[in-house]
Amino acid sequence: MPHGFYVLIAAQFFSALADNALLLLVIAVLQAQNQDAFWIPIIKLMFTLSYVLAGPWAGAWSDNNSKHKVMMQANGIKFIACALLLLGANPILAFTITGLGAAFYAPAKYGLVTELVATEQLVRANAWIEVSVVCSALLGVMLGGALVAERWLDSSFYKFISQSLPVNQLFDASIVFVLSLYLIAAMLNLKIRDSGHQYARTAWSFDSVWHHFVNDQIKLWRDPLGNISLSVTSLFWGVGASMQLLVLAWGQAMLDLNLTQSAYLQAGTALGVIAGAVIASHWVSLKNAPQVLLVGVLLGLFLPLMTVINDWVWALFLTFSLGMLGGLFVVPMNAMLQARGVKLLSAGRSISVQNTCENSSVLVLLAIYSALVFMHIPVSGLVWALSALIVTGMCLTTWRYKRMRKNKLL
């Protein structure tokens, strides 16, 4: 891998680490304000809405500018959102603005990967990215849990930082810590060099950007391999977002854990995804990527085991297994989608299509999850509903792939 690739991985790690820690902070703020439980999935929903609404423009902006500079600008948006939260802004609004920064960050990050790395190395590169993303999610959630824990809030260091700030409110020193992570990410972005790739510039108008975006969607969805990979990754990220909240609820409702302990439980899922990504990078080539579709079916079949486990040790083993299955099938699918996207479109535009589809799925599933929580559906019911969705979706996708091969469309 080229040197710039590893700097890119480090920069995105710290940026995503801050995003995930901030999510726990926002949840803690809402709980401290005694807000209803259904507002918690709304946080993630609003974050994702920023991805969907900004998607068409994020891809065009990424291709029209140097991608490492776009990453700097996106980090700036996240920094401003975090600063607003520190100044007492509505936590949901602040996290929505963070989502806007993430929406512009993603096409620049993934687009730069396709520019720095050869096509035959994309599975390995995506394994690195997945490990980095999962580690940042794991450590970010754990960090967020630590930043709202009583031990930290009662520490003399926390009190010293809080007293030094002009605004004195709950979790203010914790928010400052997250701000520092965004600064580290920005400093690392300064070390990333321009890849030198140039694309045809897109006119910066609503009609032009939207027209190109719609055509890009049609072109990638009509491509057989693009269709399969988009379907799988969209389902995976929608399910993953719901799983993040479901594990927190599961830990508190069925394992008698508090919010901080439930956040630590997600370590099992994260470590499993890392293991699955490593296995995929060594055993699955880009050519054979569709062979992992059945692994997605297994993921759905394993999920209902959550309803019969009430011990945290077995819970950790289960979350590890689920994460490993997820990492094993999503890494090759991501690589296949990026390879097709760059060939059919461009780096930024293809990632824009991917992000919009995946986050639209997240948006729909989080909306459904929020509605089910609002209707007081028990955690066990949420688990079975998510399991049925995964199994049905992956079986249909596998059937479509086999039908395409039979009809020689691939």
Give a yes or no: residue 145 inside a domain. Answer: yes
Give a yes or no: residue 19 inside a domain. Answer: yes
Give a yes or no: residue 202 inside a domain. Answer: no
Query: What pLDDT was estimated at residue 258?
Result: 74
* Torsion sign across C-alpha atoms 221, 222, 225, 226: negative
CATH code of the domain containing 105: 1.20.1250.20
Residues 6+ apart with CB under 8 A from 76: 101, 186
Give a yes or no: residue 329 inside a domain. Answer: yes
Give a yes or no: residue 203 inside a domain. Answer: no
Give a yes or no: residue 198 inside a domain. Answer: no
Give a yes or no: residue 195 inside a domain. Answer: no
For the chain, the three-class secondary structure string (H helix, E strand, C coil) is: CCHHHHHHHHHHHHHHHHHHHHHHHHHHHHHHCCCCCCHHHHHHHHHHHHHHHHHHHHHHHHHHCCHHHHHHHHHHHHHHHHHHHHCCCCHHHHHHHHHHHHHHHHHHHHHHHHHHCCHHHHHHHHHHHHHHHHHHHHHHHHHHHHHCCHHHHCCHHHHHHHHHCCCCCCCHHHHHHHHHHHHHHHHHHCCCCCCCCCCCCCCCCHHHHHHHHHHHHHHHHHCHHHHHHHHHHHHHHHHHHHHHHHHHHHHHHHCCCCHHHHHHHHHHHHHHHHHHHHHHHHHCCCCCHHHHHHHHHHHHHHHHHHHHCCCHHHHHHHHHHHHHHHHHHHHHHHHHHHHHHHHHCCHHHHHHHHHHHHHHHHHHHHHHHHHHHHCCCCHHHHHHHHHHHHHHHHHHHHHHHHHHHHCCCC
Give a yes or no: residue 20 inside a domain. Answer: yes
Query: What pLDDT was estimated at residue 202?
Result: 62
Query: What pLDDT was estimated at residue 197?
Result: 63
Query: What pLDDT was estimated at residue 332?
Result: 84
Q: Exposure of 377 by Cβ count < 10 A (0-12 exposed, 13-18 middle, 19+ buried)?
A: middle
- Residue 294, domain extent: 3-189+213-406
- 0.75 cut: is pTM over it? no
The total number of structural domains in the chain stands at 1
Q: Which residues of the chain have pLDDT under 50?
A: none
